[in-house]
Amino acid sequence: MKKILYIGIVLLFTCQFYSCDESFLETTATDTYNEANWWQNETQAVSAINGCYETLRGGQIGGTSNFSEENVTPNSYNMSGEIALATGSHTPGNFTDFMDKWNSNYEGIGRVNTLLDNIDRVQMDAGLNQRIKAEAYFLRALFYSNLVNYFSGVPLILESPNFDEHGSLPRNSREEVISQVLTDLNSAASALPVTYSGSEIGRATKGAAMALKTRVLLFESRWSEAAQAAKDVINMNNYDLFPDYRDLFLPENEGNEEVIFDVQYKVPEFSNSLDNLLEVQMNVAPLLDFVNSYQMIDGTSINESPLFDPANPFENRDPRLHKTVVVPGYMFRGGIVSDSKYFATGFGFKKYTTYKDDVVQTNILQSEINFIVLRYADILLMYAEAQNEASGSDASVYDAINKVRSRAGMPDITPGLSKEQMREVIRHERRIELVAEAVYYHDIRRWRIAEVVMNSNALNSKGEVVQVRSFRPASDYLWPIHEIIIQDNPALVQNPGY
Amino acid sequence: MKKIGLSNFPNFDGKQKLLLTMKLTLMLLLACFMQVSATVYSQATKLTFDAKNKRVEDVLRDIEDKSDFRFFYQREQVNVEQKINLNVTDKTVEEILQQLFVGQDVIFDVREDNLILIKTKNSSEGGNSDSFVKQQQKAVTGKITDSSGQPLPGVTVVIKGTTQGTVTDVDGIYSVNSESEDVLLFSFVGMTTQEITVGNQSVINITMEQESIGLEEIVTIGYGTQRKVNLTGSISSVNSEFIESRPMTNSTQALQGVNGIYVNQVGGQPGADNATIRIRGIGTLNNNDPLVLVDGIQYNLRDVNPNDIESISVLKDAASASIYGNRAANGVILITTKTGKVEKLKVELNSYFGVQQATYIPDMVTNSVDYMTVRNEASFNEGQPVPYSDEQINAFRTGTDPVMYPNTDWFGAVFSAAPMQDHNVRISGGTESVVYSMSLEYLNQEGIMLDTDAKKYSLNSNVIFKPSDKLEFGAIISGSYWDRNESYEGSENVMERAARSLPIQPNFKAENGNYADVRLVTPGHNAFYHPVAIATEGSQNNKTQRVMVNFFTQYIFPLDIKYKVNFAVNKYDAYNHKFIPTTLLYKPEDPENTRQIGKRSRSVEQTNSNSMNTSFFQTLNWSKKVADRHNINLLLGFSMESFYSSNFDGYIEGFLGNELTELNAGTINMDVGGTSYESKLMSYFGRANYSYADKYLLEFNFRYDGSSRFAENNRWGFFPSVSAGWRVNEEAFMQNVQSINNLKIRVSWGQLGNQNISLYSFLNNININQGTSFNNNVVAGSAVTALSDVNISWETSTITNIGLDVGLFDSKLDFTVDVFDKKTTDILARINVPGQVGNLSGPITNLYSMSNKGFEIGASHRNSIREFTYTLGANIAYVDNNVDFLDGDIQFETNRFGNISVIKEGFPVNSWYLYESLGLFQTVAEVENSAFQHAKTSPGDIKYRDFNEDGVIDINDMRVMGRSVPKYTYSFNLNFDYKGFDLGALFQGVQGIDIYPWHNVSWPVYNGAGITKEHFANYWTPENTDAKYPRMSLYKRGSGINSLNSTFWLKDASYLRLKNLQLGYTLPTELSNKINSSKIRVYVNAQNFLTFSKYNVTDPEKDILQEDIFNYPSTKIFTAGFNITF
C-alpha cells in the first residue's frame, strides 16, 4: 500500500516536471480581436469604418471643442476656456487644444488609412466594399481639411500608421494636402449613395462629399470652383431648407432635409454635454456685439431702423435672435428668464440646447442632439459668397441668400448691391445663420477680419467689459504647432510668428 | 549520592536551538515540520549506522549529530562504555537503542522535545519521567520561564563543578538534589547562563534571558527556512515581537522600519491601503511593487490581518529572490501567519480604540474680502477686467448674512476628527497530533472626511494534523470582508472640490434639501461643486471579500526526502454600488432658480468584479550531513499558477427620486459591460546549499518560468543565482577574539525577471469599443488604438550584492551592511510616438536599461542594565538610480503645461524636466534686458534661465532639474522596558527627493480656486518686492506666465516622521493571575505624531509623481488599547 502511494507521488511529480502540457500557458483575449483574427468578414469591415466615425465625436470635429471656438470670435465668450487664444496670450505650449486638434484628426486619419489598406482582404459584397472605401475617403478629407484650417500644410500620410516610416515626416505644403483632400472627395462623391435608410442614416453621402468639397474650395478662395461645387449640390435637388430655424436644431428633427452631414450622438452611450455646457456652465455665452448685430425685422440694422426701441431692444428683431439666444425678460424653459440667470454675459445660447421656450424642464445633463457639420443653408450661403467673388452679385446670389433669409422670416436683401456691399451682406448672413456651428472662427480668419474684430473688448449685456481681446495678424491667422508635437517630431517646422 | 552524566554536553544544540528559535520567530514551516512530537519524530526519523567496536556512548553521540535526538542517562544505571558492533539500515532510533543496549535492562522514554531518557526499568516504576529525577536526595525545585513567562522545557540545571544535574520538563519544572553550598548553573542555548547559590532555598524559580537572538534566528526563505547565520543572500526579517510592538491599521505598516524597504503610506482613507512599497529603488517604469506571498501564496497585503502575521522576510537580492524568477525583480515579501503550538488552549484578546485627525490640511484664506481682492489683482495683472466689483466686495465687508455673504472654511466643513476601533481574538493550542490557531478581527473606522468609513471582518484558521510519523497535512483558511463607504464621486474628488471651493461660496442646506449657490461669478469656476453636498448626498458602497484556502501536505520518504505539495485557491469578490443623486443648488436671492450640482444624471452604477487565483506547487527536499562537516541541502520544485479575473457592470438612469437606489429602481438608458481575462505561470525551480563546517557556505538557486504574458517563443526565462558566505568567526584564528561573536561575509549574484505588464501587450489588438451611433442606433465600431511589439519579453534585473554581518559582544551590537548593484535591462516602456502616426499609443517594447546602485546599513544594539532593557535600531538605504541606456532617445512625460519629467540617459528615471527659475523680475528694465518670455511678462513674474542663450525662453531651455526617486530612506527605532513599562518609537525618513506640486491650493486662484494664507501673505507687489511668490496672475486660464513647469515650484520633499510612539504597561503577574490571565498589557499609541519637513503644501508622505494634492489626507492616529492572554 505504502509503495503504491510512493509510486503515485513520484509519478505525479515527475509527470508535472517533465512532460507537462505547455498548452497550459496558452491564453487568449476574450474581449478583443487582434490582427490575426481580424479583416475576415463583412461585419468586421463595417465596424472598422464605424470606428473611423467614432473619432468625429472625440471633440475636434463635431464635439464641444470646435463648438467652443465660437469664443474666439466676436460672437461669444467663455470665462473659463479659450482665454489664451481669445486674449492673444497663447504660446506653442500653453494651450493644449493645439495638440489635441492635431492628434485627434490624425487619429481619424490613421484609422481611415488602416481601413483602406486592409479592406480588400475581406471577402465581402463588392458594392459595400466600394461604399465603405468612399466613406473612408470622405472622412480622410474631413480630417485633413480640418487640420489645414488650423495649421495650413501638415504631413500627408496615406498609409496605415507606421512608426518608422511616418514618425519623422515633415509638413507637406497646403496645396499638396488640399489636392489630396479634393481627390479623396471626388473618389467619395463618385461612389457614395445619395441617401441611406434606417440605421444607416448619418453615414457620409454623395451630397456630404460634394458639400465638403464646396467648403474646402471656398476656404481656399477658389471661388468659381467653389460656386460650381455648391451648384452641384443644389442641383442634386436632394436638400431643402427646414421650415423653422429653431426646430432645425432639435433632436426630434435630426436628419431632416436640410442636414447634409452631422456628427451623431445618442444617450446614454454616446452623449454630448451641450445642454450642460450652455445652460449650467455658460461656457459659450453670446456677447453684446453679436446680439446687436441681429437686424430688425425690416432688414436694417438697429442703428438704422425706426423700429428699434432702446427700452425694448429685443423686440422686432430678426426672428433668429430669439431662436438662437436666450434673452433676459423672455420666456425660456417655461419661465421668464431673470437677469442673473445667464451669469457669464447676461445672454445664453438657445441654439444647440434641447429645451423648449414654453415647457418647464429641469436641467438636462446629457444630450443626444447631433452636431451639424454641413447643411443646405450653408451651401446656399457658400454659393452666394463664391459666386459673388467669382462673378459679382448676380441674381443667383440674391436668390441663394434670400432663400435663407426668407426661411428665417426676414425680408429679401436690397437689390442692386455692389460686389463689395454684397460681400458684407453675405458675411453678416453667415454670422447670424451659422453662429455656433464651428464655422465663424474659420470665416473671420479666412476673411482676414480677425485682426479687427478680435482686437476689441468683449462686452456683456450691460456693456461692461468682460474680456480684453488681442489678435496678432503676423501669427494668429494660423495656430502654432504645439511644442510637444515638434519635440516628438523635430522635422516639423513651426508656423511663422511663434 | 548518585551522579548523572550529561551526554555530549558541549554539543547540546540542535533540537534545543530549534525550540528556542521557535519561541523567537515562530515560523510556520518550522511549526509544521519540526515541532513534531517526539513520537512522531522518532518514528519518522530513520537512521543508518555501520559501527564496529565502538563505545555505546560514541554511537549515541553520532545519533545526536545526525538527528535532533539527545540522550540523557545516568552512568550508574546504564553501561555506555561497553563496545558494540552495529549495522542497521533505516531503523528508528528506538530500534537502534534496543540493539545498543541489548542485554541491559533499560527502557527508553522519548520525551516531548526529542530528549530520550535511558534508564533502568526499576528506576521508572513511578510511571513517569519526573520520578526519574525525583529519586534523588534532598530536592531543590523550581520553574524556569522565559522573559514572556512561558515555561521553558529542556533547560539544563547542573551543580557547578560537577556533572550532576537534570533538565526541565514540559512545564519548565526541575528538581535537583543539592547541598546548601552548591551553586546551580542554569543554561539553555541562546539564553544567558545563570548561577544561583542554593543556600537554604528549596524553591528556585528562574527567568531566563535571551542572548544573541539574532544568530540563532530562523528566517523564512523561498520554499523553506534557513538559519540566519547560514544566509548568503540579502534578507531582512522581522518577527512577531517587532510587529506586535505597535497597533496597526493595516499590514503594510508592519513593513515600516524594515531594513531596505521604503514604505510610502499615502492618505488615511479607511479601508484604502494606498501604500507604495519599494525595495532597492525603482527598477522599472512598470509595476514596481514587490511580490507579496502569504504562506507561499500570492496575496494582497490589504487583506492580511496584521495580528495574524508571525514573521516577515524581505528577499532583496537576486540570490534570495531568484527562486521566484519572473515576478521577483522588485523583491519578494514573504509573510508567514501564526500557527498553533503544542500547548494548552490559549486565548488572546487585543483591542484598541483611537481617534484620527488629518496630519495636514491646507490653511486657506477664508475671508471672502481678502480672497476677492486678490482674485481681482490677478485679473488686473493680466490686463483683464476684474471679476468682482467694489460694490460686491463692500457688500461682503459689511454683510453678515452667512448665505448671502459667507466666509466659508471648506476644509473645516469637510474634515473632522474621527474615531476608530479594532478588536482581535485568537484561540490557539495543540496536541501532538494537531495544532490549531484561529483568529477573528473586527475593525470599525470612521474617516476624517465626511461620510467615509470602513468596517473590516477577518478570520484566519490554521490547523495542522499529524496522523502518522511520515505524514502531515493541514489547511490555512483565511478570509476578510471589507465594507467601505465614500462619496459617489470618490474621496479624491471631494478633496479636489474642497480645494477648489471659495470662501464666497456658502455652506448652507435649506430645509427642502437644496443647497445655497454662490451669488457671484468667478471666471474659471462657472459651476459650484458643493463639497459637502458631494460628500454626503448619494452614496458609494464598496464591499470586498477575499477567501484563501491553502492545503498542504508533507510526506517523508525513505532517505529523509521530504515531499511537500501545496494547493491554494485565492478568491476575491468586489461589489461597488454608486448612486449618483440629483442635488440642487438654488440662488439665495431667487430660491426657485435651481440647477443641479455636477454634470451627471441621476443614475446607478454597479460593478461586480471577481478574481480567482489558483496555485499548485510541489517540492522535494533532501538534506544530508556527510562526514560531520559537509552539509548538503537540495530542493527541487514545480509550480503552476493561474490568475483569472472577471467583471460585470451595469448602469441605469430614470430614477423617480433620490430614495430608491437599486438598479431595478431605474427605468431608462441602461448600459452593461463586462469582461474576463486570465494569465498563467508555469515554473521549475530549485536550490542547492552546501556548507562546510558551518564556515563556508555556498548556495545556488534557479527558476525556469513560463509566462502567458508573452508570445510563444518569448515565453520561457531562466533566472539563476549563486551566492557564497564565509563565517569568519568560525575560523580557528578568531576563537580568541571574544568580542566578535559573528562575522560573516556574503557575496551573491543573480538574475530576476519582471513580467508585470498588461496582458496581450504583444498582440496588435483591435479595440472593439469604438462604436458610434447612426440615426440613434448604436453600432459597433473598432480600431487599432495602440501599436504593439510582438517580440516583447520580460525585463531582467541582474543584482550583485556584497554583504557583511557583524555581531559584537554576544550580539549586543549587530551590524549588517549590504552593497548592491542592480541593473535592469530590457525595461518595457511605451515609446513616445508622434501624433501624426495615427495618434496611437506607442508600442510597449523592451526599450531601455537602468541601474540602481546603493547600500543598506542596519545596526542594532540591545542591552539590559538591571531591570532596564533597551533596544536601539537604525537602518539607512541609499539608492543611486541612473538610466543607463535609451538608444539616444528621450522619453518625455507631460502635463498640461508641457514637459514635466523625463527618462534620459545619465539621469535618474523620471527626473523633473523644468525651466530653471532665477527668482522674480524686479524691474521693467530687468524684463527688457532678459530673454523674451511672454508679451505680458512684468516685474514680479518668475524669471527663467535662457540656457541656450538664444534670447527666447522656450522648450529648448528646459533641463533635468530634480529627482523624483528618493536617494536616502532611513528609519530608526527605540524600545525601552523597565519594570513592566515599555516605550517604543519608530521614526521614518526620506532624503533627497523633489516634488512638483501644482493645481488648486499649490497655486493661488488656480482655475477659479482659492489661495492659502501663506501665499496670500507672501506674493510680489510693487510695495512688497522681497516676496516669496510671484505677483498675482492667472495660472491656467490666462497667460500662464508663472505656471511654466519650473524649479520655482519644485520642492524638497524630504522628511523625518515619528511614525509610531507607544507606551505600554504590563501588569504584574500576581494581578493578572487573579483573573486567570497570564498577561495583561495596556498601552497608548500615537501614529504620525511628529513630522519634520520643509515641504508644506501637503503631507510629504505622498505619491511623488502625482502632482496635484487630491489624496485623501494622511492621518495622525491616537489609540489606547490592551492585550490580554488567558
Q: Is the pLDDT of residue A304 over 60?
A: yes
Helix or strand (DSSP H, E) at B457: strand B453-465
B102 and B172 share one domain: no
**Residue among A28, A31, A98, A203 with most chain B CBs within 10 A, to mutate:** A31
Q: Do B179 and B201 contact (CB within 8 A), yes or no?
A: no
- Cβ contacts (< 8 Å) between B589 and chain A: which residues? 340
B403 touches chain A (CB under 8 A): no
User: Looking at the structure, do residues B276 and B201 belong to the same domain, yes or no?
Assistant: no
Fold of the domain spanning A12-192+479-488: 1.25.40
Number of structural domains, chain B? 3
A15 Cα to chain B: minimum distance (Å): 10
Q: Decide if B331 contacts B280 (C-beta within 8 A).
A: yes
Rounded distance between C-alpha atoms, residue B97 and residue B117, angstroms:
11
- Whether B421 has its CB under 8 Å from any CB of chain A: the answer is no
Reported as a single tens digit per residue, the pLDDT across B546-568 is 999 999 999 998 888 999 999 99
Q: How many whole angstroms separate alpha carbon B718 and alpha carbon B701?
A: 11
Q: Does A135 touch chain B (CB under 8 A)?
A: no
Check residues B244 and A381 and name the one with the higher pLDDT. Answer: A381
Residue B334 lies in a domain: yes
Nearest chain A residue to B554 by CA distance is A9
Report yes or no on B602 lying in a domain. Answer: no
* Whole-number percent of chain B with pLDDT over 90: 54
Q: Is B587 on the interface with A (CB under 8 A)?
A: yes
Which positions ≥6 away from A159 have C-beta within 8 Å?
A: A113, A117, A165, A166
Tell me, yes or no, whether B257 and B317 share the same domain: yes
Collect all residues with Cβ–Cβ distance below 8 Å to B400 and sequence separation of at least 6: none
Q: Write out residues 743-762 of B within 8 Å (CB-CB) of A.
A: 759-760
The 10s digit of each residue's pLDDT in B927-940 is 999 999 998 999 99
Least confident span in A56-65, B128-137, B194-203, B443-452: B128-137
Cα Rg of chain B (Å, integer) = 34
Give the chain B residue whose CA is nearest to the CA of A341. B593
- Identify the band that residue B741 occupies on the pLDDT scale cut at 50, 70 and 90: confident
Q: Name the strand (E) or helix (H) holding A432.
A: helix A419-433
Q: Which strand (E) or helix (H) includes residue B848? A: strand B844-865
Q: How far is B969 from chain A (nearest CA, A)?
A: 35
The answer on B329 and B261 residing in a single domain is yes
Count H helices, E strands: chain B? 17, 58
Taking the C-alpha atoms of residue B244 and residue B398, their distance in angstroms, rounded to an integer, is 58
Which residues in B lie closer than 8 A to residue A42 (C-beta atoms)?
Answer: none
Residues of chain B in contact with residue A52, where contact means CB-CB under 8 angstroms, are: 781, 783
pLDDT one-digit tens code per residue, B856-877: 999 999 888 888 889 999 999 9
CA distance B6 to B187: 13
Is residue B3 scored above 80 in pLDDT?
Answer: no
| Burial zone of A171 (CB within 10 Å; 0-12 exposed, 13-18 middle, 19+ buried) | buried
Which stretch of DSSP H or E encloses residue B243?
helix B240-244
Q: What's the DSSP call for residue B700?
A: E
> Residue B638 is inside which H or E element, if any?
strand B630-653
Q: Is A21 on the interface with B (CB under 8 A)?
A: no
% helix / strand / coil in chain A, to the nearest 5? 50, 10, 45
Give B629 or B35, the one with higher predicted confidence.
B629
Nearest residue on chain B to A170, alpha-carbon basis: B836
- Is the Cβ pair A53, B781 closer than 8 Å? yes
Q: Give chain B positions within 8 Å (CB) of A202.
A: 773-775
Q: Which of A25, A106, A268 sits opposite B835 (nearest CB)?
A: A106
Interface of B with A in 909-938 (CB under 8 A): 934-936
Size of interface A-B (CB pairs under 8 A): 311
Its ipTM equals 0.93
Question: Which residue of chain A has the CA closest to B598?
Answer: A365
Q: Which residues of A touch B1040 (CB under 8 A)?
A: 84, 89, 94
Global confidence as pTM = 0.83
pLDDT tens for residues B265-284? Answer: 888 899 887 788 888 888 88
CATH number at residue B330: 2.170.130.10
Domain range summary for chain A, segments of one domain joined by +: 12-192+479-488
Q: Tell whether B896 lies on the interface with A, counting CB pairs under 8 A.
A: yes
pLDDT digits (tens, 9 = 90+) for A18-33: 545 678 888 888 888 8
Question: Is B776 in the A-facing interface, judged by CB distances under 8 Å?
Answer: yes
Condensed to tens digits (0 to 9), the pLDDT of residues A31-49 reads 888 888 899 999 999 999 9
Report which of residues A64 and B232 the model is more confident about.
B232
CB contact under 8 A, A163 and B843: yes
Region of B267 on the Ramachandran plot (φ > 0 left; ψ -120 to 50 alpha; else beta): left
Query: How close is the nearest chain A Cα to the Cα of B768, in Å?
Result: 6
- Binning pLDDT at 50, 70 and 90, where does residue A11 land? low
Nearest to A489 among B618, B771, B836 (CB): B836
Compare CB distances from B772 to A31, A264, A363 and report the shortest one's residue.
A264
Least CB–CB distance from B671: residue in A264, A269, A489: A269
In tens, the pLDDT along B412-427 reads 999 999 999 999 999 9
When CB atoms are compared, the residue of A34, A93, A268 closest to B955 is A93
SS3 A211: helix
**Of the listed ranges A321-330, B623-632, B953-962, the one predicted with least confidence:** B623-632
Q: State which residues form the domain around B338.
A: 244-342
In CATH, what number is assigned to the domain containing residue B142? 2.60.40.4130
CA–CA min distance B677, chain A (Å) = 7
Same domain, B55 and B128: yes
Judged by CB atoms closer than 8 Å, whether chains meet at B675 and A30 is answered as: yes
Mutation target for A interface from B776, B778, B887: give the one with most A CBs within 10 A: B776
One domain for residues B129 and B157:
no
How high does pLDDT run on average in chain B? 86
Give a yes or no: residue B62 inside a domain: yes
- Interface contact flag, A489 B385, Cβ < 8 Å: no
